[in-house]
Amino acid sequence: MFVNKDNINNSLKLWLFTMFLLVITMIIVGGLTRLTDSGLSITSWELFSGLLPPMNINDWNFYFSEYKKIPEYKFVNSTMTLNEFKVIFYWEYAHRLLARVVGLISIIPIIYLSLKYKSSFLYLRKYYLIFLLICFQGFLGWFMVSSGLIENTDVSHFRLALHLSLALIILLIILWYIFLIYNVKKFNIRISKLLIFSLLILIFLQVILGAFLAGLNGGLIYNTWPDMNGYFFPNDIKIYDYFSSESLSNPSIIQFYHRITSYLILLFLFFLNYSFIKKKLTIKYILIFDIAIFLQILLGVLTLVNGVEIKLASLHQIGSIFVLSSYLLILYKNTN
């Protein structure tokens, strides 16, 4: 049976753009859930239940009583009222509801296309990867939440970084598929792969450090820039602390690493711009990335000096999406 690939591709384009926007929304809502300290308000996974929010006072009292059992309530929010609880509950509820929507949209259209165009299954099968990763992301979300239910008043910053990193990886895979299906042209001259991948590693390292910083509430200390309360190094730690097994759980050290990594990214950005100019490549692609980097640094500084104001912190997280997406375009166009 003859299958018109244009029909399949048109459907895939609509689906991929929908998924791209949904995952971005998911990351933003997830970030706000973290910033409002709402992530532990629902203390069970509720994989198949919990589609509807509490509908009466008995339901609300049940969820609130479950929340009262965890350390966050006992040691941080012991004076919280039911109305205050409802605010954090709805953030986490919205996050989980959106996750369900993303999961369904990631699989139903592909199953439909696979059944409609059975002879094109081999062409479509790679898109099932998105659904599999989103399922794993759901597991990681609960794995993260569970770390704050027994002994800790917050989730593990390591698990938080893993959860965020996978969300961004899913987003980038979707964007890569979009580039492929639109057959975006590649550079006719290649840039050094060492430079390209070194910068990519630095950007992802910066994202991970940012997640560590968020998980440790490390943006609430050293709220000056470019110095750290008048010093280059944080002055509340000793030199041996950098080599301690607990160094990656020290907010002062993580904030210092986060700052240093941003300077390294700027250095590599200079070399990348130089490569573009030297090889006479189309400058608009590097300009988009340049703007993304400088906006992200500006938002990072503003977030820091304003004591992690929620609006600025959320914009800073959105900025990481802009940075990674614009850099992925450069990476894609530089591949064979």
Q: Mean pLDDT per segment of 10 residues, for the chain of length 336 residues?
A: 70 96 96 95 87 94 96 95 97 96 96 88 90 96 95 94 97 97 92 95 96 94 94 93 93 97 97 94 91 97 96 95 96 92
Q: How many CB atoms lie within 10 A of CB 132?
A: 11
Q: Are residues 212 and 309 in the same domain?
A: yes
Query: HSE-up of 37 (CA within 13 Å, CB side)?
Result: 13
CB atoms within 10 A of CB 63: 21
Domain match, 223 and 74 both: no
Nearest to 271 by CA among 165, 173, 191: 191
309 SS3 class: coil
User: What was the pLDDT predicted at 3?
Assistant: 53
Last residue of a domain, one of 139, 163, 183: 183
* Whether the Cβ atoms of residue 218 and residue 304 lie closer than 8 Å to each other: no
Report CA dihedral (304, 307, 308, 309) to the nearest 10 degrees: -120
My answer on whether 139 and 216 are in the same domain is: no
In a shared domain, residues 196 and 152: no
> Looking at residue 142, what is its pLDDT?
95
82-116 and 128-146 helices, crossing angle to 10°: 160
119/196 same-domain check: no
pLDDT at residue 4 in the model: 61
Residues 174 and 218 reside in one and the same domain: no
Number of domains in the chain: 2
Alpha-carbon torsion, ordered 30, 35, 37, 40, to 10 deg: 20
Dist. CA 164–CA 213, nearest whole Å: 13
The two structure tokens encoding residue 333: 């166009």
In angstroms, rounded to a whole number, what is the distance separating the alpha carbons of residues 98 and 30? 10
132 contacts 191 by C-beta, under 8 angstroms? no
* Domain with 226 in it: 187-336
Looking at the structure, tell me whether residues 221 and 297 fall in a common domain. yes
What is the rounded distance in angstroms from the CA atom of residue 218 to the CA atom of residue 7?
50
- Residue ending a domain, among 140, 163, 183, is 183
In this structure, the answer to whether residues 173 and 191 fall within a common structural domain is no
Domain boundary among 134, 168, 183: 183
pLDDT of residue 136: 96
Output the pLDDT for position 1: 43
Is the Cα torsion angle 309, 313, 314, 316 positive or negative in sign? positive
Those residues whose C-beta lies under 8 Å from the C-beta of residue 94, and which sit 6 or more positions away, are: 29, 33
Question: Tokens 């100019």 correspond to what residue?
Answer: 277
pLDDT of residue 49: 80
Name, in order, each residue with C-beta under 8 angstroms of 275's C-beta and a sequence gap of 6 or more.
191, 192, 195, 281
Paired tokens of 35:
């910033």
State whether 136 and 221 are in the same domain.
no
* Residue 75 DSSP label: H
Q: What pTM value is reported for the model? A: 0.94
Q: How far is CA 138 from the centre of its chain?
A: 14
CB contact at 8 A, 252 and 234: yes
- 36 and 165 both lie in a single domain: yes
325, 172 contact by CB (below 8 A): yes
Tell whether 241 and 161 lie within a shared domain.
Answer: no
**321 & 336 share domain:** yes
